[in-house]
Structure 1
Amino acid sequence: MSELPLPVATAAPVAAADDAPFVPPRWRWVRKHPTLIVGGLLLVAVAAVSIGAPWIATFDPQDIDPLARMQPPSAEHLFGTDALGRDVFSRAVWGGQVSMIVGASVALLATFFGVLIGLFAGFVRWADGPVMRVMDGLMAIPGILLAIALMAVTRASLTTVIVAITVPEIPRVVRLVRSLALTLREQLYVEAAHAVGTRLPVILLRHVLPNMVAPLIVQSTFVAAAAVLTEAALSFLGVGVPAQTPSWGNMMAEGRNFVAVAFHIILYPGLLLAATVLAINLLGDGLRDALDPRLARQL
């Protein structure tokens, strides 16, 4: 009788690396930078609500209804009403426009003037000392106090608020640009451009500024967040935008006397302000990690 062949033990097949689930590059990038995505989406949502205020607001932000004063949130008034019967939701939505305008304007102006002054101090050696001493003097004064002083000698308006907040933010950008300029001017490609007779403006535009874009973008986000907070603080103290203008700072200033009986008047503007600043800071952190991977690994 013939013998049956014995079964041979075989190892279980090992899954090849190619059998791993494929993740599209875009989703890998999203998973790698979650703070950038979350901050960007949150900021876009706040900006969309603010821009769409004429269509989203359910009431005119200036309409006064004494019979409906300090009502709690309801189906008619989503965020309730304030001490004058004005709809808090409508005023909060319109107030977002002030914060968005101030944040974007201050970031652009501070970056523009900071780049000009910082490059001047970094590449014109005799001007470095005097310019930076002036910047140090401005930074020695707390930004909110300097803004209050500037508002005290001007007329209250949105434009003067933007100018008053921009001035204290310029030195921070100047110091960043100057430090980058001092490093870049020693690079071989910049020295080679000098050696062949390239004019300084051309060197700055072709070789220096492109290498400053990433840190300047990140710094601009932090300037915008600080500007939104400073505008709300100035309005809360009564030296910001005119009192009749719907802004989160004005709303919280008007509601601070009614916290015990109508907490919603100050709650919702405060939450929107916190969400906006958080979104900008998350966006800045995400941009820093995405634009400078070496720094992200160090952190």
Structure 2
Amino acid sequence: MSTSLPVTDGAAPSAAVPQDTPFVLPRWHWARKHPTLIVGALLLVAIAALSIGAPWIATFDPQDIDPLARMQPPSAEHWFGTDALGRDVFSRAVWGGRVSMVVGGSVGLLATGFGVLLGLAAGFVRWADSFVMRVMDGLMAIPGILLAIALMAVTQASLTAVIVAITIPEVPRVVRLVRSLALTLREQLYVEAAHAVGTRLPVILARHVVPNMVAPLIVQATFVAAAAVLTEAALSFLGVGVPGQTPSWGNMMAEGRNFVAVAFHIILYPGILLAATVLAINLLGDGLRDALDPRLARQL
């Protein structure tokens, strides 16, 4: 008894291969799941572009004084009005964004870099743990703004001094995070296996430990940068930040606080830009935390 098979033209049957499969464009579902990340990134890019393009966007020199145009309201000529010396508020606000961006980015990078080094030392070198953490506890016992003011009081007012004065109080936050991660990672089997085969500690840290810290460190760096922008504005507002002649949002609000009743616009627009910058960085940090945390990613 024979069974007849279907006749083919010599080609193997294509059972599960779908026909006429459409071309799939890149999906944007990831962006829809993390709207805070997208909004924060776009807002921060817009503010950064405004600051970087200050030489071309600013309509006046930020230092030009015009006594005849003192405290004018916003107009077609002066978009954000003028201050008590007749200087264009829009131009000064645009140039002032450069100070905040430089301070925020520099403090975020420096605090994260030093925090990683000290945190790894505390987490993997047992004799250094007590010394490093006691120093960090001492720094954290002093409010960050007071410590920054004290550091600025013994240095000459400059942008570099402001960055250093803000970085030192922010380092302990990163050190504590890195140390806690290091104490967890050093107990992992792959780290113990690397120790067992005689791998040197610097190689273990570079190859197995630090890569597993990148995600939380990026998130922490954004929050440090946001705090640095606020602290710089507070120091400048109090008169211990960047030199008074340097356009910065803190200096502008300090100069306009005595004229709130008659020229509220002098502090309004720098305040809006400062709030928008801090909001953008915080949104970016929250979005990165949601996107880089595997547990939250599964929930989303």
Common fold, TM-score beyond 0.5? yes
Question: After the TM superposition, which residues 149-298 of structure 1 pair with which residues of structure 2 at under 5 Å, given as runs?
Answer: 149-295=150-296
Supply the distance in 1 between the matched residues of 2:70 and 2:24 (Cα, whole angstroms). 55
Displacement after TM superposition at 1:27 (Å): 1.3
**In structure 2, what residue type is equivalent to 1:241?**
V
Displacement after TM superposition at 1:129 (Å): 1.2
**In structure 2, what residue type is equivalent to 1:114?**
G
Displacement after TM superposition at 1:26 (Å): 3.4
Partner of 1:12: none
Instruction: Evaluate the alpha carbon distance shift between residue 72 and residue 129 of structure 1 in structure 2; reply closer, same or farther with a 3 A threshold.
Output: same
Supply the distance in 1 between the matched residues of 2:175 and 2:26 (Cα, whole angstroms). 37
Partner of 1:103: 104
Supply the distance in 2 between the matched residues of 1:286 and 1:91 (Cα, whole angstroms). 31
SS in 2 for 1:26: coil
The answer on whether the counterparts of 1:115 and 1:174 sit within 8 Å (CA) in structure 2 is yes
Partner of 1:46: 47
Q: Identity percentage over the alignment?
A: 91
After superposition, give the CA deviation of every residue in 1:155-181 in whole Å (9 maximum; x if it has no partner): 000000000000000000000000000
SS in 1 for 2:157: coil
The answer on whether the counterparts of 1:288 and 1:296 sit within 8 Å (CA) in structure 2 is no
Where structure 1 has 5 or more consecutive residues not aligned to the other structure, the ranges are 1-21
After superposition, give the CA deviation of every residue in 1:193-230 in whole Å (9 maximum; x if it has no partner): 00000000000000000000000000000000000000
After superposition, give the CA deviation of every residue in 1:236-261 in whole Å (9 maximum; x if it has no partner): 00000000000000000000000000
SS in 2 for 1:117: helix
Where structure 2 has 5 or more consecutive residues not aligned to the other structure, the ranges are 1-22
Runs of 4+ in 1 over 2 A off after TM superposition: 22-26, 295-299
Displacement after TM superposition at 1:24 (Å): 5.2
SS in 1 for 2:27: helix
- Compute the TM-score of the two structures, normalised by the length of structure 1: 0.91
Displacement after TM superposition at 1:130 (Å): 1.6
Instruction: Evaluate the alpha carbon distance shift between residue 244 and residue 221 of structure 1 in structure 2; reply closer, same or farther with a 3 A threshold.
Output: same
Supply the distance in 2 between the matched residues of 1:152 and 1:233 (Cα, whole angstroms). 14
Q: How many residues align?
A: 279
Root mean square deviation, CA, Å: 1.5
The 10-residue stretch of structure 1 (123-132 or 40-49) with the greater mean CA deviation from structure 2: 123-132
Partner of 1:114: 115
The answer on whether the counterparts of 1:53 and 1:93 sit within 8 Å (CA) in structure 2 is yes
Question: After the TM superposition, which residues 26-175 of structure 1 pair with which residues of structure 2 at under 5 Å, given as runs?
Answer: 26-175=27-176
Displacement after TM superposition at 1:126 (Å): 1.3
The answer on whether the counterparts of 1:251 and 1:266 sit within 8 Å (CA) in structure 2 is yes
- Compute the TM-score of the two structures, normalised by the length of structure 2: 0.91
Supply the distance in 2 between the matched residues of 1:52 and 1:225 (Cα, whole angstroms). 21
After superposition, give the CA deviation of every residue in 1:116-157 in whole Å (9 maximum; x if it has no partner): 000000000111112101101100100000000000000000
